[in-house]
Amino acid sequence: DSGVTQTPKHLITATGQRVTLRCSPRSGDLSVYWYQQSLDQGLQFLIQYYNGEERAKGNILERFSAQQFPDLHSELNLSSLELGDSALYFCASSGRVKNTGELFFGEGSRLTVL
């Protein structure tokens, strides 16, 4: 158990819809990262938050947005969903005082867009 919690585990929705994925980082971790994993693109970095502030942006589409709340949990919002958005979405955290550089991953949210 990494200590990172993601909900929901599975989500099936239709094209054009909007979903929200939630992540609770490990206790004390300040950084949250979102990744998308699909068969063709591999593991793609989407966005990083640190203590509530956006820290880095990767290949995140404009239809996607994220935020980190004062209690450090994070949400990834995916809107106007397309078939190609079907993927595993992972949240990871890091950032304790002695950050070793490793990321701790949740078990992911599997999104299926029909």
* Interface contacts to other proteins, rule CB under 8 A: 2, 4, 31, 33, 35, 42-43, 45, 48, 50, 55-56, 58, 88, 90, 92, 94, 99-108, 110
Spatial CA neighbour of 13 closest among 82, 108, 90, 88: 82
Q: What whole-number distance in Å separates Cα of residue 79 and Cα of residue 59?
A: 16
Q: How far is the CB of 112 from other proteins (least distance, A)?
A: 13
Q: What whole-number distance in Å separates Cα of residue 45 and Cα of residue 39?
A: 15
Q: Of the two residues 65 and 105, which places its CB atom closer to other proteins in the complex?
A: 105
Q: What whole-number distance in Å separates Cα of residue 83 and Cα of residue 81?
A: 7
Q: How far is the CB of 16 from other proteins (least distance, A)?
A: 26
CA 59 to centroid of chain Cα atoms = 12
Q: How far is the CB of 75 from other proteins (least distance, A)?
A: 18
Q: Of the two residues 79 and 96, which places its CB atom closer to other proteins in the complex?
A: 96
